[in-house]
Chain A
Amino acid sequence: MEASEMSTQPGPAAERPATRARGRRAGAILLPLAGALGLTTLALLSAGVSPLAAYRILVFGAFSSPTRFSDMVMLAAPLLLCATGLTLTFGAGLYNLGVEGQLALGAIAAMLPLRLWPELPPPFLWALCFVCAAGGGALWALLAAGLRLGAGVNEIFAGLGLNFLASGLALFLVLGPWRRTGSASMSGTELLARELWLPTLGTLRLAPIAPALALLALAVAWWVLARTHWGLELRAVGLNRAAADRLGTPANRRTAEAMAACGALAGMAGAIQVLGVFHQLIPNISSGVGLLGLLVALLVRANPAWVLPVAVAFASFTVGSVQLPLTLGVDSSIAGVLQGALVLFALLARGLSRRGS
Chain B
Amino acid sequence: MNQVITLLAAVLAGAAPLVIASMGATLSERAGVVNLSLDGTILLGAMAGFGVALSTGNLALGFGMAALVGALVALVLAYLSLTLGQSQTAVGFVLALLCTELSSFLGAPFVRVSGPAVPFAPIPLLAEIPLLGPLLFRHDAVIYASMLLVPLSWWFLFRTRAGLTIRALGERPQAAYARGVPVVPLRYLATIAGGALVGLAGAAYSLDLKQGWSYRHTFGAGWIALAIVIFGGWRPWRVALGCYLFAALEILALRSQSALPGAPTQVFQVAPFALMIVVLALVNLAGSPALARRIAALPPPLREPLRRLVARIAAPPPAALGQPFERP
Contacts and interface: CB of A to CB of B under 8 A. Distances in A.
B226 A157 contact: yes
A219 to B, nearest CB: 26
B106 interface: yes
A126 B306 CA distance: 53
16 contacts: A46-B106, A156-B89, A157-B226, A158-B280, A164-B273, A165-B273, A171-B267, A172-B267, A298-B94, A331-B108, A337-B98, A340-B95, A343-B94, A347-B80, A348-B86, A351-B85
B267 to A, nearest CB: 6
Given A43-B106, A156-B89, 12 more contacts: A43-B105, A157-B280, A167-B270, A168-B273, A171-B266, A333-B101, A335-B101, A337-B101, A340-B94, A340-B101, A347-B94, A351-B80
Interface in B215-233: 220, 223, 226-227, 230
Nearest to A349: B84
Contacts of A176: 264
Nearest to A158: B277
B131 to A, nearest CB: 37
Contacts of A336: 97-98, 100-101, 104-105
Nearest to A353: B84
Contacts of B98: 336-337, 340-341, 343-344
Contacts of A354: 84-85
Contact of A157 (B84, B91, B276): B276
Give the size category of A's interface with B.
35 or more
A298 B85 contact: no
Interface in A182-221: none
B269 interface: yes
Contacts of B226: 157
Interface string B285-328: 10110000000000000000000000000000000000000000
A161 B274 contact: yes
> Which of B85, B93, B267 has the most C-beta atoms of chain A within 10 angstroms of its own C-beta?
B93
Given A330-B108, A331-B108, A161 B264 contact: no
Interface in B20-41: 36
B94 A153 contact: no
Interface in A267-308: 283, 291, 294-295, 298
Contact of B270 (A164, A335, A351): A164
B86 A152 contact: no
Contacts of A344: 76, 80, 91, 94-95, 98
A154 B284 CA distance: 9
B90 interface: yes
Contacts of B85: 351, 354-355
A99 to B, nearest CB: 12
B126 interface: no
Interface in A139-159: 147, 151-154, 156-158
Given A157-B277, A171-B264, A351-B84, A97 B93 contact: yes
Interface residues of B, number: 43
Contacts of A172: 264, 267
A160 B92 CA distance: 15
Interface in B98-133: 98, 100-102, 104-106, 108
A102 to B, nearest CB: 15
B281 interface: yes
Contacts of B91: 344, 347
Given A147-B277, A171-B267, A176-B264, A352 B97 contact: no
A341 B105 CA distance: 14
Contacts of A154: 230, 280
A53 B52 CA distance: 28
A286 to B, nearest CB: 14
Contact of A352 (B84, B273, B288): B84
Contacts of B267: 168, 171-172
B277 A153 contact: yes
Given A156-B89, A172-B267, A161 B102 contact: no
Given A175-B264, A336-B101, A351-B80, A47 B93 contact: no
Nearest to B281: A151
A98 to B, nearest CB: 11
B274 A151 contact: no
B84 A165 contact: no
A334 interface: yes
A347 B91 CA distance: 7
A339 B271 CA distance: 31
